[in-house]
Amino acid sequence: MDRQRLHAGVRGVPAGAAAALGDRFGRKRTFIAGIALFTAASAGAALATSTGMLVAARALQGLGAAVLLPLSLTLLVGAVSEARRGMAIAGLSAMAGLGIALGPLVGGSVLQLGSWELIFWLNVPVGLALLPAAALVLGAGPRTTARLDVAGTVLVTAGLLGVAYGLVRTGVLGWGAVEVLAALAGGAALLLAFVLWQYRASAPLVPPHLFTHRGFALAGVIALFAQGGMFGAVFLLTQFMQDVLGYPPLDAGLRTLPWTLAPAAVAPLAALLADRAGMRIAMAVTTALQVVGLAWFALVVAPDVPYLALVPPMLLAGSGMGLFFALSPRQALDFVTPAQHGIASGVNNALRQVGVVLGIAVLASVFAGTGGYGDPAQFTAGLRVALWAGVVAVAVAFVADLFVPRNPDIQREKGRERGPVDPVVGTSMSL
């Protein structure tokens, strides 16, 4: 499980750097490189003969995924008109939701019927098929001649990696371990140095003025807390299905389909909801559904809970997740200029991935401190408290959304009024 959390953490580490590399060397070329790296790392994981080799391969997988996730959104947005952007993002989210639905089912089937190496081998033919398809279908996209912020890239990558590693190790060593504290403190110090450097760099990796837009900054807060609260709960509830209710991996995957299929089902409705009700109300609906779903789980979980009692909260939480996946990237892009789409999607993706690792670490610690794996009653007691912690995290995202500006177009105009816009990074140059 720690290896899975490290993989999720590494996905968020170089997302902003990947967006900058895409703008500098071409989004299509960088995207294809990400596919190649992910495919090669999958083969390496399947061939691993030791834990160290497997961890290294999973880390490389995370780097490849960190390139693919933000650039897929940027390439999609650049390929459609602004009027069709919402529907295009919803379609991408529906495909992501379908992947979430199939993941536990396919993974459970492979573990129950085959060997764990097959999980990684499945990625290889998919990646090999995508490489020529991406080369033939994708457009080259815009490129800039701006220098790459090497110092900023190193600082933010090392800083996020340190924080992610520290959070991952809390599950084994606890929050007070020297290794954990050193990793968290070192990562935080590097991130502070990164922020200070961005104000001095001539071509910053993340233009500081990006966060002067209240809407964009709050979109990041919403992404961090909503993703953390929900995925921290998912991490524990998946174990509850197997360790307490006693379902084997394949059966557990089948029984979570009401939850995991819901995102694919509701994502196409996200654009319609946002266009009719407005982005702020639509995002509030996504977090409200997740809050109610997690609270419902917390109220009904028990060692002998009937499966049917879990279906309604699964549907609610899954619907909220599906709408959130479709609308969160769009919310972030609404508050930046088109020239900033690459870096904005990278930052938003990084915050969401860090939210996953942070949420799992915090909720797992709450679970361990109030319960544990000793017996079903102990597990359920810890799970119930952890679920309420997840409710609080997603509720923070709900409250933050209430302060997001209602009209992103007005917010963008205010940003333009601050000063001339740099054609490379698209951000106000006045202080």
pLDDT tens, position by position, 377-423:
999 999 999 999 999 999 999 999 999 987 665 444 444 433 333 33
Across residues 31-54, what is the average pLDDT? 88
Task: Give the integer Cα–Cα distance in Å for 387 and 381.
Answer: 10
Percent of the chain exceeding pLDDT 70 equals 79
Q: What is the chain's mean pLDDT, rounded?
A: 80
Dump pLDDT digits (tens) for 319-371.
Answer: 998 889 888 888 888 888 877 777 787 788 778 878 888 888 889 889 988 98
Domain edges within the chain = 2-148+203-417, 149-202
In this predicted structure, what is the pLDDT of residue 250?
76
Reported residue count of the chain is: 431
Closest CA to 380 of 243, 282, 234, 258: 243
Instruction: Tell me how far apart the alpha carbons of residues 274 and 288 are, in angstroms, rounded to a whole number.
Output: 15
What whole-number distance in Å separates Cα of residue 295 and Cα of residue 317?
Answer: 10
Q: What is the pLDDT of residue 299?
A: 96
Q: Give the single-character DSSP code of 428.
A: B
pLDDT band at 425 (very low <50, low <70, confident <90, very high): very low
Most confident segment among 46-50, 208-212, 249-253: 46-50
Higher pLDDT, 315 or 235: 315
**Cα dihedral 408, 414, 417, 423 sign:** negative
Q: What is the pLDDT of residues 161-180, one digit of tens each?
A: 888 788 878 777 888 899 98
pLDDT value, residue 248: 83
Question: CA-to-CA distance for 138 and 141, rounded, in angstroms?
Answer: 8
Token pair 């990796």 in the structure block, residue:
205
What is the C-alpha to C-alpha distance for residues 321 and 327, in angstroms, rounded to an integer?
10
pLDDT at residue 294 greater than cutoff 70: yes
Of residues 384 and 82, more confidently modeled:
384
**Which range has the worst mean pLDDT, 38-42, 113-117, 304-308, 397-401?**
113-117
What is the amino acid identity at position 422?
Answer: D
Q: Summarize pLDDT for 190-218 with one digit per residue, the tens.
A: 999 998 998 888 878 788 888 888 888 99
Q: How far is CA 378 from the centre of its chain?
A: 30
> Do 345 and 333 form a contact (C-beta atoms < 8 A)?
yes
pLDDT of residue 342: 72
More confident residue, 149 or 184: 184
Query: Over pLDDT 90: what percentage of the chain?
Result: 27
Report the pLDDT value the prediction gives residue 221, as an integer from 0 to 100.
93
Least confident piece of the model among 114-118, 139-143, 197-201, 380-384: 139-143
Residue closest to 1 by CA, chosen among 184, 117, 167: 167
The span from the first CA to the last CA of the chain, in angstroms, equals 45
Question: Per the structure block, which two tokens stand in for 321?
Answer: 């997740």
State the average pLDDT over residues 85-104.
67
Distance CA 397, CA 394 (A): 5
pLDDT value for 240 = 93
Rounded mean pLDDT, 243-256? 84
In this prediction, residue 235 has a pLDDT band, given cuts at 50, 70 and 90, of: confident
238-240-245 Cα angle (round to 5): 120
For the ranges 253-262, 328-337, 419-428, the lowest mean pLDDT is seen at 419-428
Cα–Cα distance for residue pair 89/92, rounded to 1 Å: 5
In sign, the C-alpha dihedral spanning 272, 275, 281, 282 is positive
* Fold of the domain built from segment(s) 2-148+203-417: Growth Hormone; Chain: A; (1.20.1250)
Higher confidence at residue 23 or residue 185? Answer: 185
What pLDDT, on the 0 to 100 scale, is given for residue 140? 66
Tell me, what's the pLDDT at 97? 60
Identify the band that residue 142 occupies on the pLDDT scale cut at 50, 70 and 90.
Answer: low
